[in-house]
């Protein structure tokens, strides 16, 4: 008896991106780059907001091409930073383990 193949719709597994960038980071960039000129109402803040929006969008799109879930992975790595040492050797015994023995 052959195995049955079930197609999975692309919308269920593709990353959630806005304008090609990660959703949370892109929304934060949009809010900041629009909110800055609206609140201060100067020509300088408009220039800064537009340039930040253009260059920030380009950087977030570049980052999403490398890893579409960068922020999620980064937050998880920070949570486990104390658990995983930055480097290790094959025969190394960790000081925390040595104290338990």
| Per-residue confidence in pLDDT tens, the chain, 101 aa | 788 988 888 888 888 888 999 999 999 999 999 999 999 999 999 999 999 999 999 999 999 999 999 899 889 988 887 777 666 666 666 666 666 55
The DSSP string of 18-49 is ETTEEHHHHHHHHHHHHHHHHHH--HHHHHHH
Contact residues for 8 (Cβ-Cβ < 8 A; gap 6+): none
The residue among 7, 16, 20 whose CA lies nearest residue 61 is: 20
Helix, strand, or coil here: 17?
Answer: strand
The residue among 68, 72, 31 whose CA lies nearest residue 49 is: 31
pTM of the predicted model, to two decimals?
0.69
The residue among 24, 47, 22 whose CA lies nearest residue 36 is: 47
Cα 61 to Cα 55: distance, rounded to the nearest angstrom: 10
């Amino acid at each position: 008896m052959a195995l049955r193949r079930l197609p999975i719709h692309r919308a269920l597994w593709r990353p959630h991106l806005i304008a090609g960038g990660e959703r949370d980071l892109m929304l934060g960039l949009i809010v900041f780059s629009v909110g800055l000129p609206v609140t201060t109402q100067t020509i300088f803040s408009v220039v800064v907001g537009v340039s930040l929006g253009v260059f920030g969008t380009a950087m977030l799109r570049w980052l999403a091409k490398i890893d579409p879930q960068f922020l999620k992975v980064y937050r998880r790595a920070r949570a486990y930073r104390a658990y995983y040492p930055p480097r290790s050797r094959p025969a190394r015994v960790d000081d925390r383990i040595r104290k338990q023995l």
